[in-house]
Amino acid sequence: MTSRSGLALAVGAYAWWGGLPLYLSLLAPTKSVEVIAHRAVWSLVCCLIVVAVTKRGREFISVITNPRTVWILGVSACLLTVNWLVFVYSVESGQLVDGALGYFINPLVTVALAVVFLHERLRPAQWVALGVAASAVLVIVIAYGRFPWIAICLSLSWGLYGYVEKGIGRNVSAVTALSVETLWVTPPAIGYMIWLSAEGRQTSFGFGVGHTWLLVGVGFMTVVPLLLFNGAARRLPLSLLGLTQYLCPVMQFLVAVVVLRETMAPARWAGFVLVWVALVILSADALHASRSASPTPELDGPVRRGRWRGRTPR
């Protein structure tokens, strides 16, 4: 029963993240930076409500009175903001396909970062997967004629975000961590909204009450899937949780191509197919390794902690 409920929560979280572009597309004419400002402010409000309801106030105070943890979360807040901004921009500019590509290659980037920063030794299949993924980027650059900077930026910012958050330890809940991260971002976000208002360029008001509430709702849309994921992480084995993460970019890809009608040239399809081949190799290797009697050192690295195992963006 625990596994069933955990799977339901995981599917709910990743489906929520996968469908988020549909919500973001409703926020026009608000531009990406203003959307992120609202997302920071209202996410903080939602997080503090959850902290109060779940009685994590003592944990929150403990974190904000620990200078080392606060500074680590400050760095992760910057990476998270970059990730949010680029993703919202991908929706706003009609480049959600590249955004989906970024979250497809995120597990591969995570493995690459483990080699660079944690000096981990990869298995042959992992090297093959990285080589195929690199080939995919080359195909898109050479044949399609455009460097997929949105995809690379999203995958790198999220991979580095997970690496930085390893420094806060395992005793800080995701909601508390997100509360402190948004606390870092909220002052400049409020300052930006005040500046927009002074310039007469803010879109929070003047486009109807419905539009205003949609902007406020960005905070709710950010926090709810995070809570669903936390519940899933406590109930599911790592191997199954890792496989469900692909639901998010698959849904984003379908939303981009089917709903938002983004074009897919042959070269673009070729790049995506190569990425999917790399993910099949990586997933098959991870499943094989997880079934072995004694876990290898490679699996004890970046994939053990929930935030470092290629999770989709909050």
**pLDDT (0 to 100) of residue 230:** 75
Q: Is residue 313 part of a domain?
A: no
Give the pLDDT band (50/70/90) at residue 295.
Answer: very low
> Taking Cα atoms as reference points, which of 76, 269, 298, 55 lies closest to residue 185?
76
Q: Is residue 244 part of a domain?
A: yes
**pLDDT (0 to 100) of residue 168:** 78
Mean pLDDT of the chain: 84
Query: Measured between alpha carbons, how far is 268 from 255 in angstroms, rounded to an integer?
Result: 16
Lowest mean pLDDT among 11-25, 35-49, 103-117: 103-117
Q: In this structure, are residues 182 and 73 in contact, taking their beta carbons and an 8 Å threshold?
A: no
Query: Measured between alpha carbons, how far is 181 from 75 in angstroms, rounded to an integer?
Result: 9
Q: Is residue 200 part of a domain?
A: yes
Q: In this structure, are residues 222 and 17 in contact, taking their beta carbons and an 8 Å threshold?
A: no
Q: Is residue 72 part of a domain?
A: yes
Q: Is residue 217 part of a domain?
A: yes
Q: Is residue 291 part of a domain?
A: yes
Give the pLDDT band (50/70/90) at residue 238.
Answer: low
Q: Is residue 22 part of a domain?
A: yes
Q: Is residue 119 part of a domain?
A: yes
pLDDT tens for residues 126-170? 888 888 888 888 888 887 677 889 999 999 998 888 888 777 767
Which residue segment(s) compose the domain that 299 sits in? 2-308
Give the pLDDT band (50/70/90) at residue 229.
Answer: confident
Domain count within the chain: 1
Query: Measured between alpha carbons, how far is 304 from 258 in angstroms, rounded to an integer?
Result: 35
